[in-house]
Amino acid sequence: MKLNRRKAIVAVAAMGSAAAAARTLMPTRKLADLWHTDLEQMFPATFGDWEVDKSLPVVLPSPDTQALLDKLYNQVLARAQLNRRTGERVMLSVAYGGDQSEALSAHLPEVCYPAQGFTLDGAETVSLELAGRNIPARRMRTRSGHRHEPVTYWLTLGETVAATRMQRKLQQVRFGLRGWIPDGMLVRVSTIDTDATHGFAVQYDYLRSLAASVPAAHASRVLGASDT
């Protein structure tokens, strides 16, 4: 009986030590506190041949989706934009969260599109050359009834673009070991197009023009650190 009691005391002590160590190693500093974030300033409304399309209203999320956005992100920017020269239209959505240490994948397009009734016909990781950077991004082909919506997106942690779940986890660990809680930004564009190849080409043209217009002070936050 005394031996079992002694083992129990040792186990409780070990658990207490582990909990204390976890509290000591738990990151407490937020990258978000190092810089001011204003999505309206970081993403110009007019650039190149593109301007805000006032004739195409941005569809607001459902109340439950909005509640999730409010929980995960501090700021959300949504715009429909028109190419004055070609008449092409692109929808831009940017979501920023100051604390991306947990539940980062809860609102990724692969999750939220099917949750809204879309069928995911395919997804792949691609490299986009934007403003002197090679950005690992995701492309998705989605549809809902007669609506076909190709989607391109990427996600940043701090000043690093992470394409896959494993890359995001590794970045979170790296930040955590340095005592930092990373912030994150999800940049997503989509078009309504039954021809996904054409839709992705339009999006790429849009993104190249957008990337060139992002103020230099914010470029690494939006596009990741430069390769050069």
Tell me whether residue 194 is in a domain: yes
Tell me whether residue 18 is in a domain: no
Asked if 180 and 96 touch (Cβ cutoff 8 Å), the reply is no
Tell me whether residue 179 is in a domain: yes
Percent of the chain exceeding pLDDT 70 equals 75
Tell me whether residue 48 is in a domain: yes
Asked if 49 and 209 touch (Cβ cutoff 8 Å), the reply is yes
Tell me whether residue 34 is in a domain: yes
Closest to 123 in 3D by CA, of 135, 105, 111, 134: 111
Asked if 180 and 151 touch (Cβ cutoff 8 Å), the reply is no
Range scoring the smallest mean pLDDT among 19-23, 201-205, 220-224 = 19-23
Tell me whether residue 209 is in a domain: yes
Is residue 43 very low, low, confident or very high in pLDDT (cuts 50, 70, 90)?
Answer: very high
Q: What number is the average pLDDT over the span 41-67?
A: 78
Tell me whether residue 191 is in a domain: yes
Q: Which residue has the higher pLDDT, 34 or 17?
A: 34
Tell me whether residue 10 is in a domain: no
Domain range holding 76? 28-223
Asked if 192 and 149 touch (Cβ cutoff 8 Å), the reply is yes
In this structure, the dihedral spanned by the alpha carbons of residues 110, 116, 122 and 127, taken in order and rounded to 10 degrees, is -40
Q: What is the pLDDT of residues 98-131, one digit of tens each?
A: 776 554 555 689 988 998 899 999 999 999 999 9
Confidence (pLDDT) at 17 = 42
Residue 33 has pLDDT above 60, yes or no: yes
In this structure, the dihedral spanned by the alpha carbons of residues 227, 188, 101 and 32, taken in order and rounded to 10 degrees, is 70
Q: How far is CA 215 from CA 31, 42, 212, in A?
A: 20, 7, 8
Confidence (pLDDT) at 6 = 57
Q: How many domains does the chain fold into?
A: 1
Q: What is the pLDDT of residues 153-170, one digit of tens each?
A: 999 988 889 877 788 788
